[in-house]
Amino acid sequence: MFTINIYLKFAIIFLCLVGGIVLSFVLGIGYTWIFIIIGLLFLASYLLLGTVQSASEMLQKMDFEGAENRLNLTYFPKLLYVTNRAFYYILKGSLAAQKKDNNAAELYFNQALALDLPSDNEKGMVLLQMSGIQAQKNNWTGAKNYFYQAKKLKITEPQLKEQFKQFETAIENRGQMKVAQTMGMKTGQMMMPGGKRRRPKMK
């Protein structure tokens, strides 16, 4: 999709609005309203779309710093079109998670979930991220809750399906580990300090 460089967009907005207003005072309204209209259209485009798409492209190229700097040029995220606002919070959450700032990531992902995500793929991706955050906090109950919510969705993206399989394996392995630990504790109850096994009393 074609996008205009954000700095070029800022320049067009400034020149058209300021230039149009100045020319209207100098030359009269005449055709100067065209410049003002163009400036207002570019301003509306910036306010509704922000820098989400270009930041997303940078993030896909693993340019985390560039993506964060570009996303920070969206000065009014609450004015974004609702879908773009959701993606804005997803990107902010992903960048925070990449920096291991799980509390901020969780906050942004929750804000994204509260909005109108375009498909189950996006919602599933956010829920999987939330599940991963809970797993990092060693809160496996919370991780499972988010994961099972995500599993109810209709995921069509092959790469995301693979991530689901990998995370499900991690959860299953965690469950097997807990069972093994429980069995070990039960077995250990028959052991004396120093590793000596108690002899059962003879009747």
Q: Work out the mean pLDDT of the chain and round it to a whole number.
A: 83
pLDDT at 118: 84
For the stretch 99-148, pLDDT in tens is 999 999 999 999 999 997 888 999 999 999 999 999 888 888 898 999 99
Residues 146, 131 contacting (CB under 8 angstroms)? yes
Confidence of residue 175 (pLDDT cuts 50, 70, 90): low
The ranges assigned to domains in the chain are 9-49, 53-117, 119-181
CB atoms within 10 A of CB 172: 10
Residue 116 confidence (pLDDT): 77
Per DSSP, the residues of 40-98 read HHHHHHHHHHTTHHHHHHHHHTT-HHHHHHHHTT---GGGS-HHHHHHHHHHHHHHHHH
Q: What would the mean pLDDT of 47-70 be, rounded to a whole number?
A: 94
Q: Answer whether 89's CB lies under 8 Å from 107's CB.
A: no
Tokens of 77: 């995220």
Amino acid identity at 16: C
- Identify whether the C-beta of residue 39 lies closer than 8 Å to the C-beta of residue 20: yes
157 exposed, middle or buried (CB, 10 Å; 0-12, 13-18, 19+)?
middle
Q: Which residues pair with 191 in a beta bridge?
A: 197
State residue 136's pLDDT score.
Answer: 87
Q: Which of 16-30, 36-50, 108-122, 166-180 has the lowest mean pLDDT?
A: 166-180
